[in-house]
């Protein structure tokens, strides 16, 4: 959403029409919202910390004491659902939900404000419509009990009701600040009236058949995304309207899909790796790795470009989040690259495309997600992603070498003493990705367990050898983790609900038949998939595209003889290319912001790097061994 300060400036003239009301309400509203937000963040962060302790205890009991604790996974999953749903509300308050703002930002301030208000009202109606079915689900599930601890089945949907209530409050507070008081009340009443009308509208579009898929999941989703509604809620709103206007199914199905989508134990890996990424940044582990690689190859012509590629390969395997990867590397290398004479546009371009090329390097967030939604072994994905990552980085290194011929060479000769010193400092950090990958690849621990092992390792080793983490920073890291996790998890949940609706409509079978019957067999299937996921990655962002289309297309790939691990690599890299490709790719603007480079300067510099990545993707699609040779 638009920044609150900007909205205040935009509406200051209109708000002045009722200064008395503003003066009376604003301080109380600010106080209430701030303190509710603090309570939400504190509770969610505490639940996350408890989950980390529980999982750490389970790993310790299993491997050291040889005593498996069966009830921990059950409790950890329930706590995960709760802090995930609270994280969704926190993400809304903080404005971190993924959204496409390209078109909205092109409009004039007054038009932009109107679009923002309209999008907020749509979201308000969507949330209001979820409340009743969520309450019905609480009543329906209450008699059920969990197998080990006997927890009532109503506890899980209660998390959804709590989150929806909080989001409605935060959204109303935002609308109050966006609009003058005389306009706020009619808008709120209009949203309530719309929710009431939708409650009583019959499914009058049922006879349109599959045309409804185009109307709701094609035109509808694209329109909602273009007006700036967060992508997750664009999926959810389109699915809700599809249910209301075309089926007799109860809306509790959507709430059930949301709870189910946020209750898979394997997805607990996501917040754990996000927290681990924040840990390595704050303790200085990421910087120590970069310093070592820079000492080793930084003085060569184009050396800092190679350092960026190597650093992205190393750091990506730990944090799993692309924004975190770029934030760890960009601020350190960008000033030095500018001083060396590297084009500013090249810095942002290389940072963006190297992040896209690192999508398959374990334990990447998208590897975990595609494995969880498609059933592909995450261990196999971790093994299969290493070589494709190397192929992509080599392709980018060739372009970096060609574009660095006019760059100054480092003034100092290679210092073996500096290399040795930085290597010794970096050993604990360099050991972490090796420990993570070895534990998963050898089958010693699951992806969730290895994330906990990594967190404990950084907490102990980072405190001893590098900078420790004080309690205030720990709290900030936990809060940031739950907000990012909430933004990611609600996409998975609502895209899963939309994918389920598409499957029930018969669209999945139609898509499989179309893709498998393309002339040209596997080659044509892979070529169309590459182009499709470049578009999906650019428009829908990365994770929504995976959750929505992965479960539909992976079976189609298997049906014509494409190995699912190879297909996953092709899909993820294609999606990454779209995600970081201008003008729509969200990741491109993130890279420019991190590198402090104007997007206009970097736009054309992206072309050779994107072309190199495209060639690498074609090579990986053409030679399956690169992805499955070590399985």
Q: Which residue has the higher pLDDT, 177 or 437?
A: 177
In this prediction the pTM is 0.77
Residue count (the chain): 631
| Burial of 110 (C-beta count, 10 Å sphere; 0-12/13-18/19+) | exposed
C-alpha dihedral, 46 to 493 to 388 to 393, nearest 10°: -60
Distance of alpha carbon 36 from alpha carbon 33, whole angstroms: 5
Distance of alpha carbon 545 from alpha carbon 535, whole angstroms: 9
* 3-state SS assignment for residue 318: helix
Would you state the structure tokens that stand for residue 414, as one six-digit string? 């290679």
90 within 8 A of 486, measured Cβ to Cβ:
yes
Distance of alpha carbon 395 from alpha carbon 611, whole angstroms: 9
Chain centroid to CA 586: 11
Q: Which residue has the higher pLDDT, 158 or 347?
A: 158
* 3-state SS assignment for residue 339: helix
Distance of alpha carbon 495 from alpha carbon 221, whole angstroms: 11
The band of 541, judged by pLDDT with boundaries at 50, 70 and 90, is low
| Burial of 249 (C-beta count, 10 Å sphere; 0-12/13-18/19+) | middle
Q: Is the dihedral of CA 220, 221, 227, 230 positive or negative?
A: positive
C-alpha dihedral, 445 to 446 to 449 to 451, nearest 10°: 110
398 within 8 A of 405, measured Cβ to Cβ:
no
What confidence tens digit (pLDDT) does each residue in 296-340 have?
Answer: 776 666 677 888 888 787 777 555 556 667 766 776 777 777 776
Distance of alpha carbon 405 from alpha carbon 235, whole angstroms: 47
Distance of alpha carbon 221 from alpha carbon 231, whole angstroms: 8
The band of 26, judged by pLDDT with boundaries at 50, 70 and 90, is confident
What confidence tens digit (pLDDT) does each residue in 59-112 have?
Answer: 788 777 777 777 888 898 899 999 999 999 999 998 888 777 777 888 888 888
Q: Among 166-170, 386-390, 435-439, where is mean pLDDT lowest?
A: 435-439
Give, in order, the Cα–Cα distances in Å from 32 to each of 37, 124, 170, 187, 431: 8, 19, 10, 22, 46
Q: Where are the domains of the chain?
A: 4-263, 267-628
Query: Side-chain half-sphere of 561: how many Cα atoms within 13 Å?
Result: 5
590 within 8 A of 405, measured Cβ to Cβ:
no
Give, in order, the Cα–Cα distances in Å from 606 to each of 197, 344, 346, 578, 591: 48, 11, 7, 12, 11
Distance of alpha carbon 314 from alpha carbon 413, whole angstroms: 25
pLDDT number for residue 3: 43
Q: Which residue has the higher pLDDT, 238 or 67?
A: 238
Give, in order, the Cα–Cα distances in Å from 509 to each of 10, 246, 514, 552: 49, 19, 9, 8
Q: Is the dihedral of CA 176, 179, 185, 189 positive or negative?
A: negative
pLDDT number for residue 159: 92
- Give φ, ψ of 414 to 5 degrees: -65, 130
- Give φ, ψ of 413 to 5 degrees: -75, 165
- Give φ, ψ of 251 to 5 degrees: -70, -15
370 within 8 A of 568, measured Cβ to Cβ:
yes
One-character DSSP codes across 27-56: HHHHHHHHHHHHHHHHHHHHHHHHHHHHHH
The band of 467, judged by pLDDT with boundaries at 50, 70 and 90, is low
For 330-350, letters b (16+ CB in 10 Å) and e give bebbbebbbebebbbbbbbbb
The residue whose two tokens read 């007054």 is 110
């Amino acid at each position: 959403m638009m920044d609150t300060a900007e909205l205040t400036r935009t509406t200051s003239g209109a708000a002045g029409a009722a200064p008395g009301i503003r003066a009376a309400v604003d301080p109380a509203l600010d106080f209430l919202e701030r303190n509710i937000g603090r309570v939400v963040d504190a509770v969610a962060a505490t639940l996350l910390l408890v989950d980390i302790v529980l999982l750490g205890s389970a790993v310790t009991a299993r491997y050291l004491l040889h005593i498996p604790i069966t009830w921990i996974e059950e409790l950890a999953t329930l706590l995960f659902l709760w802090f995930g749903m609270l994280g969704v509300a926190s993400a809304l308050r903080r404005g971190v939900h993924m959204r496409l703002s390209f078109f909205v930002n092109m409009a004039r301030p007054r038009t932009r404000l109107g679009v923002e208000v309209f999008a907020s009202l749509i979201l308000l109606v969507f949330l209001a419509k979820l409340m009743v079915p969520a309450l019905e689900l609480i009543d329906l599930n209450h008699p059920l009990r969990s197998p080990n601890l006997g927890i009532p089945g109503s506890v899980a949907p209660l998390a959804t009701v709590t989150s929806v209530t909080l989001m409605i409050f935060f959204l109303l507070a935002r609308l109050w600040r966006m609009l003058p008081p005389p306009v706020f009340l009619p808008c709120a009443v209009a949203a309530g009236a719309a929710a009431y009308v939708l409650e009583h509208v019959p499914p009058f579009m049922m006879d349109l058949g599959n045309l409804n898929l185009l109307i709701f999941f094609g035109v509808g989703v694209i329109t909602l995304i273009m007006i700036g509604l967060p992508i997750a809620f664009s999926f959810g709103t389109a699915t809700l309207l599809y249910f209301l206007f075309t089926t007799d199914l109860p809306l509790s199905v959507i709430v059930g899909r949301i709870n189910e989508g946020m209750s898979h134990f394997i997805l607990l890996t996501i917040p754990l790796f996000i927290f681990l990424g924040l840990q390595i940044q704050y303790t200085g582990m990421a910087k120590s790795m970069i310093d070592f690689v820079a000492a080793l190859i930084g003085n060569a012509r184009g050396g800092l470009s190679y350092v960026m590629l190597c650093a992205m390969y190393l750091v990506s395997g730990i944090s799993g989040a692309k924004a975190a990867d770029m934030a760890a590397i960009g601020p350190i290398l960008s000033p030095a690259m500018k001083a060396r004479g590297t084009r500013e546009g090249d810095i942002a371009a290389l940072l963006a495309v190297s992040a896209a090329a690192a999508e398959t390097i374990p334990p990447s967030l998208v590897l975990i997600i595609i494995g969880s939604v498609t059933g592909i072994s995450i261990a196999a994905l971790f093994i299969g992603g290493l070589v494709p990552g190397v192929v992509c980085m080599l392709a980018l290194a060739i372009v970096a070498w060609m574009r660095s011929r006019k760059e100054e060479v480092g003034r100092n000769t290679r210092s073996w003493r500096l290399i040795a010193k930085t290597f010794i400092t970096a050993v604990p950090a360099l050991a972490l990705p090796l420990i993570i990958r070895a534990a998963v690849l050898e089958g010693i621990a699951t992806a969730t367990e290895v994330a906990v092992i990594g967190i404990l390792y950084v907490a102990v080793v980072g405190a001893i050898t590098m900078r420790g983490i004080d309690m205030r920073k720990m709290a900030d890291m936990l809060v940031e983790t739950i907000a990012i996790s909430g933004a990611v998890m609600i996409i998975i949940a609502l895209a899963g609900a939309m994918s389920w609706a598409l499957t029930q409509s018969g669209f999945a079978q139609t898509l499989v038949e179309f893709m498998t019957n393309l002339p040209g067999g596997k080659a044509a299937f892979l070529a169309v998939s590459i182009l499709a996921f470049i578009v999906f990655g650019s428009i829908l962002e990365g994770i929504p595209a995976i959750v929505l289309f992965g479960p539909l297309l992976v079976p189609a790939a298997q049906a014509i003889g494409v190995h699912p691990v190879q297909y996953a690599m092709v899909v993820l890299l294609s999606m990454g290319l779209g995600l970081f490709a201008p003008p729509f790719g969200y990741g491109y603007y993130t890279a420019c912001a991190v590198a402090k480079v104007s997007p206009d300067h970097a736009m054309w510099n992206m072309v050779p790097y994107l072309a190199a990545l495209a060639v690498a993707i074609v090579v990986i699609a053409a030679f399956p061994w690169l992805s499955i040779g070590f399985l």
